[in-house]
């Protein structure tokens, strides 16, 4: 079960702290992965990933539509197609809401939401044209449900990810393309400024922040054939936080 052998995966943001763990998990299940990122560490990450399976690095600034289109075309060339899209790219900006710069708002929304929709459009069109029963998996956030403070752009973008996941599912599931999301909780990343806050940790029943590897089981399940009848949902992976 949950075998992903030879599944062709376009993965945005795969060189990041959460993405790295997920890419390794997919490779271990036999998938072939194209990692789209503009991290200066992408080359080193690809070397590391190659220990686990077939992987390609595509350096791209996905805040620009033209770059997204080029990265999609390069993915199709490298993998000879796409079966699964994982939208994981994301940035964070923190300001008091009355002072939040509009240019930073626009940048967060462009990367965290618009790029997700753009890649979903590109991949869905390709899957439909080629008769592929595909998967689109979006990485949302617990902040889609709780809002947070000083992060209005991030919360808006991740709420939007949950929304487009439902909307795309309503249109694409009947065409054989399942669309789902994963909502990480407080994770051990540089984006999480509260990862050592005792008050936050006391509210997580598991007693710790999550790691990228904690997202692998949900991701592999949603990518697999076993999730054939699962579409339009968002799975929280948060150590029980939302249950408090």
To 10 degrees, the CA torsion angle through 193, 196, 202, 206? 100
Contacts of 202 (CB under 8 A, 6+ apart): none
E-strand ranges in the chain read 8-12, 32-37, 55-59, 84-87, 135-139, 178-184, 234-237
SS3 133: coil
Q: Residue with structure tokens 């997202």?
A: 215
Which residue from 48, 71, 46, 72 is spatially nearest to 61, judged by alpha carbons? Answer: 71
What is the SS3 assignment for 66-130?
Answer: HHHHHHHHHHHHHHCCCCEEEECCCCCCCCCHHHCCHHHHHHHHHHHHHHHHHHHHHHHHHHHHC
Which of 116, 126, 154, 186 is labelled catalytic? 154
Whether 154 is catalytic: yes
Spatial distance between the Cα atoms of 165 and 100, rounded to a whole number of angstroms: 27
Spatial distance between the Cα atoms of 34 and 217, rounded to a whole number of angstroms: 20
Task: Give catalytic residue positions.
Answer: 154
């Amino acid at each position: 079960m949950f075998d992903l052998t030879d599944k062709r995966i376009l993965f945005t943001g795969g060189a990041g702290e959460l993405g790295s763990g997920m890419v390794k998990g997919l490779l271990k299940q036999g998938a072939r992965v194209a990692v789209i990122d503009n991290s200066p560490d992408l080359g080193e990450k690809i070397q590391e990933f190659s220990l686990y399976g077939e992987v390609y690095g595509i350096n791209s600034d996905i805040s620009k539509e033209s770059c997204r289109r080029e990265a999609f075309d390069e993915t199709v060339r490298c993998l000879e197609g796409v079966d699964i899209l994982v939208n994981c790219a994301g940035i964070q900006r923190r300001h008091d809401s009355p002072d939040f710069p509009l240019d930073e708002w626009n940048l967060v929304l462009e990367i965290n939401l618009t790029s997700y929709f753009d890649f979903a459009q590109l991949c869905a069109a390709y899957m439909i044209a080629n008769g592929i029963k595909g998967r689109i998996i979006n990485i949302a956030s617990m902040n889609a449900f709780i809002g947070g403070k000083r992060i209005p752009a991030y919360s808006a973008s991740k709420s939007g990810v949950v929304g487009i996941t439902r909307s795309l599912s309503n249109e694409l599931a009947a065409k054989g393309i399942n669309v789902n999301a994963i909502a990480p909780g407080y994770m051990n990343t540089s984006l999480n400024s509260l990862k050592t806050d005792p008050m936050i940790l006391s509210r997580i029943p598991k007693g710790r922040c999550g790691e990228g590897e904690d997202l692998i089981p949900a991701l592999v399940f949603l990518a697999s054939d076993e999730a054939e009848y699962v579409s339009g949902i968002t799975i929280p992976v948060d150590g029980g936080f939302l249950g408090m």
